[in-house]
Amino acid sequence: MDTSSGAGFRSKLDYGSGLFRIRMKIPEKKTEGIVTCFYLTSAPDNQEPGNHFELDFEFLGTNGTVQTNVYDYDGGHREQSFKLPFDPSQDFHTYGILWNPSQIVFFIDGIPIRVFKNNSAQGVAYPSKAMHIEASIWNADWAGPVDWAQAPFVAHYQDFDFYACPTQNDDVSICGNGHYFWNRRRHLELNDEQKQQMKSYRSAYMTYDYCSSPSTSKQECSLN
């Protein structure tokens, strides 16, 4: 992207559950303000999103920090950020999102780094509308000033790979069926090895967690 254009793509269909993965390499020219992302969203195209569901991977600038976020039919503000143990501009890495009726899991290179559980029984909203997939590169004032002298900024995507339940309306209940492998027992909760992997990753690389401050913490923080 440069001062006159950004770029992005989206899936043709909407989905109600699935396992979504892509390999990304962010721009190597160093700057703030450039956001390279991969996400699922229920927000309509070319409209103000309003309250909606969204699951985000967002690189804020090109310093190697990735932010995850969950919009729970609201404005989001559930950020958890990580300073990665590798340079994401120098090679491709795999970023994945699992969404099933029990949990949402964010993965980096197959390692779970974040879980958002279905706590709807406790009054916490959980994605109940179909979402499509988007990936894009754009500039955001809230992510810092862009050094436009470094433009153009080029992001690379490859191996867009997903297994998902397509739906043509907002009823995602049909996508909770157990004949989809990602809805089966082994995917409804992390196993002990995955829990330890996530604990170690978060301990080593997490730089921000909305649950850590009373001013930003939300109900699910005591449940997840």
pLDDT in tens, 176-209: 999 999 999 999 999 999 999 999 999 999 999 9
Q: Is the pLDDT of residue 46 over 90?
A: no
57-70: per-residue pLDDT in tens? Answer: 999 999 999 999 99
For residue 217, the one-letter residue type is S
Report d(CA 55, CA 35) in Å as an integer.
15
134 is catalytic: no
54 is catalytic: yes
Q: Active site residue: 28, 32, 48, 54, which one?
A: 54
Report d(CA 7, CA 137) in Å as an integer.
6
206-220: per-residue pLDDT in tens? Answer: 999 999 999 999 999
- Give the contacts of 61 (CB within 8 A, at least 6 positions apart): 30, 31, 32, 33, 34, 143, 144
4-31: per-residue pLDDT in tens? Answer: 989 999 999 999 999 999 999 999 999 9
From the list 151, 159, 131, the residue with the least C-alpha distance to 70 is: 131
73-128: per-residue pLDDT in tens? Answer: 999 999 999 999 999 999 999 999 999 999 999 999 999 999 999 999 999 999 99
Q: How far apart, in Å, do the first and last CA atoms of the chain sit?
A: 37
Neighbours of 123 (CB within 10 A): 9
Report d(CA 40, CA 10) in Å as an integer.
9
Is 104:113 a contact under the CB 8 Å cutoff?
Answer: no
HSE, CB side, 13 Å, CA atoms: give it for residue 187.
21
Q: Active site residue: 58, 79, 189, 193, which one?
A: 58
pTM above 0.95, yes or no: yes
